[in-house]
Amino acid sequence: MSDKKDPRKTFGEALAEAGEKNSRVMAISADSSSGSQMTMFKNKFPERHLEFGIMEPGITGICAGLATTGKIPVFATIAPFVTGRNFDQMKVDLGYMKQNVKVVGRCAGLSYYHLGPTHQSLEDVALMRTIPGMTILNPGDPVEIKAATLAMIEHVGPVFMKIGSDPMPVLFDESKYKFQLGKGITMKEGSDITIIGTGTVLCRAAEAADILEKEGVSVRLINIHTIKPLDNELILKAAEETGKIVTVEEHYTNGGLGGAVAELLAQNCPTEMRMIGVNDQFGSNGPYDELIGLYGLLGPQIADTCRKFLAKGKCSCCGG
């Protein structure tokens, strides 16, 4: 891990770059341009930046209407307000109507660590997963955020992308990195256990893999930046070859990455799993690292969960 970067700023830079490449790209703000780092785009292309104030459900419909005229609206604001508050519009206007709109939920997960559950977004992936045709991106480092932003704009169809707000370490070498929508990335080969990480906590999963590796455990580390469509092939292969799967996400353990992987495995390759995330409770508040630590999302905690999983070999709750 090297230096850290602000995920929102990285998104903002990528959006401005996309705006250079494609004159149909528009930035749509819900009083959120500065918070979503769309100011750079606004300064470069003022005529392609539209402000609508705080009316996320209405704006989602407006974006669908803009898309029918060939524009590519990129609507970015605080994650729960573009997934939960506007869910019906996401479902009907973007999903059912198949409109080419890109919705970016920033400060997702527990990013608003002091502001509590109204602003935290632990259900966004669960909600978006139920919408047919909705692509869900959750990039895991600044290099991937940039690549995912450019890829989502190139992709034709509705996309939801979530990003955090805490500075993220750079995990990938930009000169070698290739983003392929719907394809996971094996960051490390291994045969004893697979850790599948996504988004803001991919770096924590990577830290856990390093810890375990030093203890002699052969860990496979997979980065799932596209939660829908899921890379079934890569995950099934890992399940067959390593036998144990641990998912790591800054999201509820139901309905998110863990849920998606469990649905896949249960029907195709029943495999023991551990799901690390927030378990059926509203997020608390406090300093970010301490807060994610409440839910076992720090690197050493993830390593510990893996250790126990490997030691027991079977279900930790019933020992069966």
- Rounded Cα gap, residues 216 and 26, in angstroms: 50
Task: Determine the interface stretch with another protein among 66-74, 103-111, 165-173, 249-257 (rule: CB under 8 A).
Answer: 66-74
Report how far residue 110's alpha carbon sits from residue 286's, in angstroms, rounded to the nearest whole number: 10
Interface positions, 46-65, toward another protein (CB under 8 A) = 47, 50, 52-53, 55, 57-65
Binding of residue 128 to another protein (CB under 8 A): no
> Is residue 220 a contact point for another protein (CB under 8 A)?
no
Using CB under 8 A, which of 68, 218, 268, 316 touches another protein?
A: 68
List the x/- string, 74-103, binding to another protein by CB under 8 A. --------------xx--xx--xxx-----
Whichever of 66 and 275 has its CB closer to another protein, that residue is 66
Q: d(Cα 246, Cα 236) in Å, to the nearest integer?
A: 13
Rg (CA), the chain: 19
Q: Shortest Cβ distance from residue 67 to another protein (Å)?
A: 7
Please identify which residue in 66, 74, 238, 297 interacts with another protein, judged by CB under 8 A.
66
Size of the site for another protein (CB under 8 A): 28
Report in angstroms how near the CB of residue 79 gets to another protein at its nearest: 19
277 Cβ neighbours under 8 A, 6+ residues apart: 122, 247, 248, 249, 250, 251, 252, 253, 256, 257, 258, 295, 297
| CA–CA distances in Å: residue 281 to residues 117, 154, 199 | 10, 37, 20
**In terms of CB distance, is 63 or 221 closer to another protein?**
63
Told to check if 67 binds another protein by CB under 8 A, we report yes
CB atoms near residue 192 (< 10 Å): 15
Q: Per-residue contact track with another protein, 3 to 42, x per CB under 8 A?
A: ----------------------------------------
Query: What does the H/E/C string look like for 141-210?
Result: CHHHHHHHHHHHHHCCCCEEEECCCCCEECCCCCCCCCCCCCCCEEEECCCCEEEEECHHHHHHHHHHHH
Residues near another protein (CB under 8 A): 47, 50, 52-53, 55, 57-71, 73, 88-89, 92-93, 96-98
